[in-house]
Amino acid sequence: MFGLYLHIPFCSAICNYCNFNRGLFDADLKRRYVDALVREITACAADQSSIVNHQSSMKADTIYFGGGTPSLLEPEEIARIIRACDEAFDVAADREVTLEANPESVTDARLAGYRAAGVNRLSFGVQSFRDDELRRLSRLHGADRARAAYAEARAAGFENVSLDLMMWLPGQRVDDWLASVDAAAALGPDHLSLYLLEVYPNAPLKDEMARAQWSQAPDDDAAAMYLTAMERLEAAGYEQYEISNVARPGRRSRHNVKYWTDGEWLGFGCGAHSTRSGTRWKNVSATGDYVARIEAGVPTATDLRRLSPDERLGDALFTGLRLTDGVNLDAVRARYGVDVWERYGPMLERFVHADWLRHEPPRLYLTRQGMLLAHEVMAVFV
């Protein structure tokens, strides 16, 4: 079964580190955007010549609203988009429907509305439980609002709540970070995503860091942040299942796991990517361009490309190694007809000797230490 991804590109303010496909909220553009999304979903499923319909199964089991800030959409708009998905595809009854939300943009009523609309998983962009760090990131919420939003989500009936945290923030020491990790664990979310801040060359944060003389901690501290957080979360009952993700048993993100297990998904909205039947494409990125094309009946897909068997294999290995379970080499051989160890073993041996990588047939997986250096290992496959 495939996943459905809906991109919502609107934000109340643009954070100083953000590199996502997003723009400032505009009520009129948002109204046209929701209409366009619904039209794209409907047209995609109806187009019998499309790659989407080349397989007999039209069954999906996850819907994911990502952004941007999807919680800037009204509950009725979310409900309308979910209805469009249901009408266009065969979406399983036990679906996972995730909405990314910012703490400052939700209220009791709004959360109850999302729940009634069919959303059953919330992912809050908390980033930190320290107000000084949140201000440095130009986030609009404080730690108290994050805690309140979490409590409101539980009160609204959400049984599956995830929190995003970011480490290696400017001026952040290892203990500052661990204070946020402990604060998050104390709330008891079902899932946590822990990301390392990447300061892009053209991010306003880079200039602010230079002006204020904020720096990121040394690499060894960044490694300590990651490793200690994972240990603490494990002690608190979470299971690491991916480089950046931990979950309580049974609470892994079903949608995101498709990206790491050679799965298929259809993306709708500006900049959304799709992978289906060995073909990959991406929608135009700019919100206005996307809406104008949909309104004019012009295709939005760009970069449509049939992947070669080697590219598919490389992607399956590259993404599969992100999982703590790693890659099942027998399954890869059955799917791609390739003995991975025979082909890549000579290049991977040194990582095995360094104990970054373990080869325990049929599994190939990264150790936690290896996860810190995953890109070096994964570079072998691409």
Residues contributing to the site for ligand SF4 (CB under 6 A): 11, 14-15, 18, 20, 22, 67-69, 102, 125
Of 271 and 320, nearer to ligand SF4 (C-beta) is 271
Q: With CA atoms as reference, report the closest residue to 63 among 24, 8, 18, 12.
A: 8
Of 118 and 125, nearer to ligand SF4 (C-beta) is 125
Question: Hey, which residues does 64 pair with through a beta bridge?
Answer: 5, 98
Of 45 and 73, nearer to ligand SF4 (C-beta) is 73
Of 19 and 55, nearer to ligand SF4 (C-beta) is 19
Give the other-Cβ count within 10 Å of 304's Cβ.
12
CB of 22 to ligand SF4, least distance (A): 4
Of 148 and 197, nearer to ligand SF4 (C-beta) is 197
Q: Decide the pairing of beta strands 2-8 and 265-268.
A: parallel
CB of 172 to ligand SF4, least distance (A): 17
Segments in 156-304 forming alpha helices (H): 174-187, 204-212, 219-235, 254-260, 287-296
What is the gyration radius of the CA atoms in the chain, in angstroms?
21
CA 135 from centroid of its chain's CA atoms: 23
DSSP string, 99-147: EEE-GGG--HHHHHHHHHHT--EEEEEEE-S-HHHHHHTT-S--HHHHH
Q: Could you identify the residue written with the tokens 């998904």?
A: 265
Q: How close are the terminal C-alpha atoms of the chain, in Å? A: 26
Q: With CA atoms as reference, report the closest residue to 186 among 115, 124, 249, 235.
A: 235
CB of 365 to ligand SF4, least distance (A): 31
Give the other-Cβ count within 10 Å of 360's Cβ.
9
Of 105 and 283, nearer to ligand SF4 (C-beta) is 105
Report DSSP state, residue 261.
T
CB of 19 to ligand SF4, least distance (A): 8
CB of 7 to ligand SF4, least distance (A): 11
CB of 271 to ligand SF4, least distance (A): 12
In angstroms, the CA 271 to CA 66 distance is: 11
Of 72 and 316, nearer to ligand SF4 (C-beta) is 72
CB of 310 to ligand SF4, least distance (A): 34
CB of 276 to ligand SF4, least distance (A): 26
3-state DSSP assignment of residue 267: strand
Of 20 and 336, nearer to ligand SF4 (C-beta) is 20
